[in-house]
Amino acid sequence: MTKLNIESIQDKLFRLKSNTDFIEDILKSSDDELLKRSDFSKYTALEHLLQLSIQIILDIGSHILAEDFHENPATYNEVIIALGEKGIITKEFAKQHEEMAKFRNKLVHDYGNIDQVKVLEYGRFAPEVFRIFGKAFVDYIQKNNVIPSQKGFVIPLIIAIMAVLAIGGGVYVYENNKTEKSAVVDTGTQQTNQNQQQTNTKTLPVTTQQNTSANNTNINNISTCDLKNNSDEKNRCYEEVAIKNVDVNVCSKITTSSTFDHCVVGVAGTAKNISLCTKVKSDNTRNICYGSVAYHTLNISYCDLAISKHPYPSNDGVKELCYANIARELKDVSICEKIKIPTEWDDELGPRPSDFQGGRVYCYQQVAKSLKDKNICEKIISKTEKNKCVSGI
């Protein structure tokens, strides 16, 4: 059994989602607006968010390498390369983005010599790179069946999956040729040309990703997928086309049930269409679908569609998590009170704790962190969980 700390990974993925959303919001402003000396706050925030997001990716990668492969790379660059060697990301993607670690170091240690224009150029395609890393981590966890639990609330695989489903409105799939990059840049070929000019600069990593995408066939065209020889690549391609075009019919071309299910989940989340979840074959993945659409619509009633077949806390926890996600986004602690404290208990986990509050604990922690309000932590009975709540703010 892996020793991965899924709770920590999940928390970092949510932070990555928040950072990515903020980055994209900042970059709605023009370069001229961001670089105005009279109001430099947005640009400063962008640098900080890029630094933190890269650090999150490196921290998760380092944790996986240490716990599951007993490897501790000496440098952050080596973390990225090692992730490729272990198959967590592709080797090509690792090679393209190993310089990302140097960019982080420059932001931290050499901030006086940063080319601000190039930082803005990097920022405009960084969100999609971050999402690809996030999806890769979730894929790895899912493949290795990591489903741990903690006192008072389950931290199951579903949490990590939904963390990434929440990023950007749908599932993001990374392929060997990383064609996702072509969709993230709003300025089209102009942005690609800018990145080509950046290849030899020392201030911008991850520039070759754009070059690769510029030479790839348009991923939005389903015929691109038909031409692939490898069945896994073909299925992943269909999944991405379906999600990007919000077309669930494309999912029917997928030959494996698990990929088909995830395809439907991605389309349902992007389309905010709860009825699509009925097409999902797996009970567990259907619950994921309900939770994803609930999150993207902030509709609590959809959370109640998820059905748990096992006693708490060994069930999938999706309903409780769904409530917590919406409570965090709406910054509404009253939603946590709607989470029922189950009367059933899985006896294999030992006696039921006297301070047991079920999924409310995690919900309180998330809302407290979102509001930066330590008073909310006082609602938690368990001293251990209460202290964790306070220290997380």
Ordered structural domains, the chain, with CATH = 1-146 (1.20.120.580)
The pTM of the full predicted model, rounded to 2 decimals, is 0.52
DSSP per-residue letters across 213-233: HHTSPPTT-HHHHHT--SHHH
pLDDT at residue 379, rounded to an integer: 96
pLDDT reading at 183 higher than 70:
no
Three-class secondary structure of residue 149 per DSSP: strand
Looking at residue 300, its pLDDT comes to: 92
pLDDT, average across residues 385-390: 90
* pLDDT tens by residue, 339-377: 888 777 666 667 778 888 888 888 999 899 889 999 999
Q: What's the one-letter identity of residue 22?
A: F
CA 78 to chain centre: 22
pLDDT of residue 332: 96
Percent of the chain with pLDDT over 70: 73
Q: Which residue type, as a one-letter code, is found at position 272?
A: K
CA angle 222, 225, 228 (to 5 degrees): 155
Cα 228 → chain centroid: 27
Q: Compute the distance between CA of residue 174 and CA of residue 162 in angstroms, rounded to an integer.
A: 17
156-178 average pLDDT score: 42
- Give the separation between CA 141 and CA 143, rounded to whole angstroms: 5
Q: Give the type of residue at 327.
A: A
Which residues on adjacent β-strands are paired with residue 149? 154
Mean residue pLDDT of the chain comes to 75
| Alpha carbon 309 to its chain's center | 27
Say how many CA atoms lie within 13 Å of 184 toward its Cβ: 25
Cβ contact 13:137 at 8 Å = yes
User: Per-residue pLDDT averaged across 148-162, rounded?
Assistant: 45
Whether the CB-CB separation of 73 and 65 falls below 8 Å is answered with: yes
